Amino acid sequence: MVGWPHICSKLSRDTMWLLTTFAIVWTLWLHRNDIIFQGKSCDLVQLVFNAKLRAAWWWKARNTDSSILLDSIIADPSLPSSIGEASPVSRAFWCWSPPPLGFLKYNVDGACSLEGRCGVGGVLRDENGSTLMEFSLSIGYGSALLAEILAIKFAVERFMSSLWIDRSRLVIESDSSTAVAWVLNPSLASPPFSELVHGIHPFFSDGRWVIRHIRRIQNVHADFLAKAGIG
């Protein structure tokens, strides 16, 4: 706390960095309590993410009229400070983009631990960025690519059984370029994955649904859900 002004010279005038100070301290305190009183292990990745998420929540609560999305702030906590100086191109690059009129958007991701345990996650949002549905599941042991493909499959299945199936078209976004390429063109898939992607491909073959690749930094919340699914 005392040394923070030396780390960030903007502290006196930058609300985001001031909030981050307290978010880090509060997150460390809660994590310490989890370790001592609940027997949880230290998870540095989760610790950093929770601090970023808490700071982003607090900033959004103070700036309710801001158009910067929560996912974008988590991915780059300096964004609220720099957005005024950023060009429209750079803002578009960092921000989650809403789906076209008549569409909903499912961001999906897969993740695996060093031991090979994998999880999948996804979040369905409308054009206003409102969350309609989420999933976070363990798929047991496997590979990162398998997890990425299964995340797409689970998003398709959940949308098919949802109340939105007859009301909206769908955009699915994944940060795995290989998974997206294989779903669009199953002939590219290696034999172990061929049957799986052939089963997903028909949903995107007539143009009613869209699947596309995005950068990992634009897929923060889905990544968090996938990692949480590992267990």
Q: Which amino acid is at 51?
A: A
The confidence band for 18, taking pLDDT boundaries of 50, 70 and 90, is confident
* pLDDT for 82: 55
Interval 79-108: pLDDT, tens: 676 554 444 434 444 467 788 888 999 999
Q: Which residue segments constitute the domains of the chain, with CATH numbers given?
A: 4-93 (no CATH), 97-230 (3.30.420.10)
β-strand partners of 137: 120
Interval 151-172: pLDDT, tens: 999 999 999 999 999 989 999 9
Interval 172-195: pLDDT, tens: 999 999 999 999 999 999 999 999
Q: What is the CA radius of gyration of the chain?
A: 19
Interval 30-55: pLDDT, tens: 988 888 988 888 888 778 888 888 88
Q: Of 65 and 226, which is predicted with more confidence?
A: 226
Comparing 24-38, 117-131, 137-151, 166-180, the range with the smallest average pLDDT is 24-38
Instruction: Please say whether the beta carbons of 172 and 152 come within 8 A.
Output: yes
pTM of the predicted model as reported, rounded to 2 decimal places: 0.62
43-52, 54-63, 143-152, range with greatest mean pLDDT: 143-152
Q: How far apart are CA 133 and CA 130, in angstroms?
A: 9
DSSP 121: E
* pLDDT for 146: 96
